[in-house]
A and B are shown apart, each in its own frame.
Chain A
Amino acid sequence: MQSTLPTTGHGTLVAMVAIEARRFARHPLFLLGALVALVLQPLVSGVGDPFASDVLAWPIIPAFFIGLPSLVVAALLTRSTEAASEAMGTAPGSEARRTLAVAGAAVVPFTVGLLWLAELFAIVSIKGVHPHELWFGTMDDLHVWGILLALGPVACLGGALLGVLAGRWLTFRGAPAVVVVALVAVDIGAQIGTMGEDIVAHHASGDLGVRARLLAPWALWHSGGLPDGRASVGGGDPVWYLFYLLALCALAVGGAAWHDRTARTPRLRLTLYAVIGVAVTFLALAVFAGPEAGTVSEPVPFKVEG
């Protein structure tokens, strides 16, 4: 296959990333999802409540409305770059560089995820939080940062990179929709043993099964508000979980680049093995190095029902 651009060189890759980032940012599905996430966040933060509550459960909004559409958009963009090569035997750059270009465009959803995080802090600073809320002050600051970053902006980034991986390896037309369904099923399926009506007791038990949920690429940390006004955060270390997710992101990029036979160098193989090792280590640290039992809050009075 011929290439219309040099297959090496930093400048051309940057130019390709810029082009793909513009295509990403203009895709209607991504725009709609990002808009919905940013507009809905103030509404789901409890308009009538005196304080912002269950704040650590909020990251499901960007993960769903930015991360999952980004997965679809990245998969479609990745497939679209192959149209020219399949039709005419020519394409800009090598396949691996086109893959890296779309992966680089994942900075767009990551940036929107950071915007969402800024919005979250703005809402919290305006409304304030109850002293019993699981937040800075009642939890380790690093753990709060870990949960917010892992389940918010990094989930947006990871969704896009998983889309690149799926776009490169799954060539059937329904792949993006199927991957979205599979991802949601895996994420929720991993929480099955840890949820239910007595989720606070599950979190407080320190059961290894609760911490094993961290294997999922989007694990639920916060229980959500319960009728008795309490809430809980599951066991495990959110900071190591954040690093685990970043390792999965790197693995997605490497795995997508590996699809190009010409890019399968010993160096890339070694890098992928190293990243797999690092990911397993971070997961083990997230599961075993963090607190076994979760944190259970005192009842927040205005959340008590009845």
Chain B
Amino acid sequence: MLLWYLGRAVPWTTLLGCLTVGGALTVTTHRWESFAGLGLPLVALVSASAAAFLLDEPAVAVTTVAARGGRWATSARLAVGLVPLAAGAALLLAAPDQVRGDGTGWVLVLAGLLAVVLLLTLVGARRQVPRPGATVASAVVLLGMAPMVLGMFLDWRSPYPMPDLSHELQVFWTGALAAGLLGCGVLVLSPASAPGARRRRRPPLPRRPRSSRVAP
């Protein structure tokens, strides 16, 4: 039942398409190592953004009231996040040794990004956005590249391993991972966990008709 559901509910083509782009970027870093400074962050970003499409559901209003319940469906979809995590980690570790360091830093960055992506997507899904994936994925890619652009002008250090993570950055990415996972856990376990189960205000009570004044 679980595999049947995931086979139909998860947009595998989109997910694998993002990972294919990541694979092409990894190959490029082998051909031009000077590209790795930009290429490896892009691999991490595009792999993490693949997870943004896991909760896309065009018929959100219908599936919210499915028999298995929203919590089961959401949890099952979120678990597929392990696929882009594993594939993205494999792509990052396949980069040339001299540009990726020992690789643990990149895996931590990928896990942190992925947890944040899942949290943002889950927030969108809970607000009954049918397809939050495209917006979340694009926003994460743009935000993830912004520090590299600003670093050209400001004395900012890159948040990505070059080739290893500093202690401060390890704390930062571990914090992002923990916050993302914690947020996802809270949202899934909270009562309104089904995508689209936005709390609605209780309809106002009917007003009491004004009593017409009657002259004594």
Contact = CB atoms under 8 A, between A and B. Distances in A.
Interface of A: 29, 33, 36, 40, 43-45, 57, 60-61, 64-65, 68-69, 72, 75-76, 79, 172-178, 180-182, 184-185, 188-189, 192, 195-196, 224
A210 to B, nearest CB: 15
Contacts of A176: 134, 137-138
A174 B49 contact: yes
Of A72, A173, A177, A185, the most chain B CB neighbours within 10 A belong to A177
B38 A60 contact: no
8 contacts: A72-B138, A72-B139, A76-B135, A172-B13, A174-B53, A177-B46, A177-B140, A184-B42
B108 interface: no
B153 A33 contact: no
B131 to A, nearest CB: 7
B32 interface: yes
A2 B26 CA distance: 46
Nearest to A170: B17
Given A181-B46, A189-B32, A196-B34, A69 B135 contact: no
B152 interface: yes
Contact of B145 (A29, A43, A64, A178): A64
Interface string B1-42: 000000000010110011001000100100010110011001
Given A44-B154, A174-B133, A184 B38 contact: yes
Given A173-B14, A180-B141, A64 B42 contact: no
Contacts of B11: 173
B134 A174 contact: yes
A29 B56 CA distance: 19
A76 B134 contact: yes
Nearest to A195: B34
Interface residues on B, range: 35 or more
Given A72-B138, A195-B34, A174 B154 contact: no
Given A61-B153, A181-B42, A184-B145, 12 more contacts: A29-B138, A29-B139, A57-B153, A60-B152, A65-B146, A79-B134, A173-B131, A174-B53, A181-B46, A185-B35, A185-B42, A189-B32
B142 A72 contact: yes
A126 B133 CA distance: 44
Contacts of A65: 146, 149
B172 to A, nearest CB: 20
Contact of B18 (A45, A76, A174): A174
A64 B149 contact: yes
B150 interface: yes
A173 B34 contact: no
Contacts of B53: 173-174
A68 B142 contact: yes
A36 B149 CA distance: 12
Contact of B21 (A178, A188, A189): A178
Given A172-B13, A174-B50, A192-B32, A185 B149 contact: no
Nearest to B145: A184
B152 A172 contact: no
Nearest to A43: B154
A4 B146 CA distance: 41
A188 B46 contact: no
Among B13, B39, B141, B142, the one with the most A-chain Cβ atoms within 10 Å of its Cβ is B142
B125 interface: no
Contact of B142 (A33, A45, A174, A188): A33
Contacts of B137: 174, 176-177
A45 B152 CA distance: 11
B75 to A, nearest CB: 22
B56 A173 contact: yes
B45 interface: yes
A185 B56 CA distance: 27
Given A29-B139, A181-B21, A189 B46 contact: no
Nearest to A27: B135
B124 to A, nearest CB: 12
Nearest to B42: A181
Contacts of B153: 44-45, 57, 61
Nearest to A76: B134
B149 A188 contact: no
B17 A172 contact: yes
Contacts of B154: 43-44
